[in-house]
Amino acid sequence: MSDDPHSPRALAARLLSLLDLTSLGESDTPAQIEALCASALAAPVLPAALCVYPEHVAGARRHLQGSTIKLATVVNFPDGGGDPARVEREAQRALAAGADEIDLVLPYRALLAGDAAVAGAVVRACRAVCGDGIVLKLIVESGELGTPEHIRQACAIGLEAGVDFLKTSTGKVPVNASLAAAAVMLDAIAEAGGRCGFKAAGGIRTLADAAAYLDLAEARLGPGWSDPAHFRIGASALFGALVAAASAAS
């Protein structure tokens, strides 16, 4: 008999399929990244992507070879600087090393200072480097932007530049993902036609937390919208719990 789609096991399996399993520790070693790749490959449901710092992309690419797991990395991270040329160089190197997806930090401090032009230039520069087939996620750093107005402005910059996902947070600031910020971002995506995806990341610690973002996305954009092409979750602290729940006997 098939699982109840609302059961903890089914929910865990679905969240695993939407997970960007991430390790962005400053002291990550090649051995730790290899172990992370092995854990991802051994999961009962493969995560959507694995996200590591650029220096670990080539190694992770070798370990994930032949799997369907996408390989993501970060640029302009976590500071969100305002130099488009720097972002171009970082993205080019990451793609040359084998990245499938780029998570770019918006120059959110520039935006807060009233310089939307700098923020837009950085996003457009990275979009130009990320050609067809490369997924670009824009981290708006919603907790630092603070107000719905600033979050909407950041979303508009990303949507105009043609990013593939709007992402809440780096996980490196005091305030990361929140349902209130997610609602603003999802509404912006819906108003733009629902093509762009959404990623919640930072501070998601429980299965209930993760499910709340999934429910919010489907309330705003419709049942079934939240597939890996449109919805991701950065909740690596939950990975072990998700694997255990998805593996539990029915």
CA atoms of 121 and 128, how far apart (whole Å): 11
Amino acid 21: pLDDT: 98
- Is the residue at 2 inside a domain? no
- What integer best gives the mean pLDDT of the chain? 96
**Contacts with 154 (C-beta within 8 Å, 6 or more apart), sequence order:** 106, 108, 111, 119, 138, 140, 142, 145
- Is the residue at 48 inside a domain? yes
Give residue-wise pLDDT tens across range 163-186: 999 999 999 999 999 999 999 999
Above 60 in pLDDT, residue 2? no
- Is the residue at 195 inside a domain? yes
Range(s) of the domain holding residue 133: 8-247
Q: Assign 3-state DSSP to the chain and report helix, strand, coil percentages, each to 5.
A: 50, 15, 35
Above 50 in pLDDT, residue 1? no
Phi, psi of 77 (to 5 degrees): -115, 140
Amino acid 3: pLDDT: 60
Pick the catalytic residue: 20, 100, 103, 164? 103
**CA 59 remoteness from chain centre:** 20
Pick the catalytic residue: 167, 172, 209, 227? 167
DSSP codes, 113-157: TT-HHHHHHHHHHHHHHS-TT-EEEEE--HHHH-SHHHHHHHHHH
- Is the residue at 236 inside a domain? yes
Amino acid 131: pLDDT: 87
CA torsion sign for 147, 186, 245, 48 is negative
- Is the residue at 149 inside a domain? yes
Any idea what the CATH number is for the domain that residue 213 is in?
A: 3.20.20.70
- Is the residue at 207 inside a domain? yes
- Is the residue at 1 inside a domain? no
Whether residue 70 lies in the annotated active site: no
Mean pLDDT for the stretch of residues 22-37: 97
Give residue-wise pLDDT tens across range 129-156: 998 899 999 999 999 999 999 999 999 9
Give residue-wise pLDDT tens across range 97-131: 999 999 999 999 999 999 999 999 999 999 999 98
Q: Please tell me the pTM assigned to this model.
A: 0.96
Mean pLDDT for the stretch of residues 7-27: 96
Pick the catalytic residue: 100, 137, 164, 199? 199
* Domains: count for the chain: 1
CA terminus-to-terminus distance, the chain: 9
- Is the residue at 205 inside a domain? yes
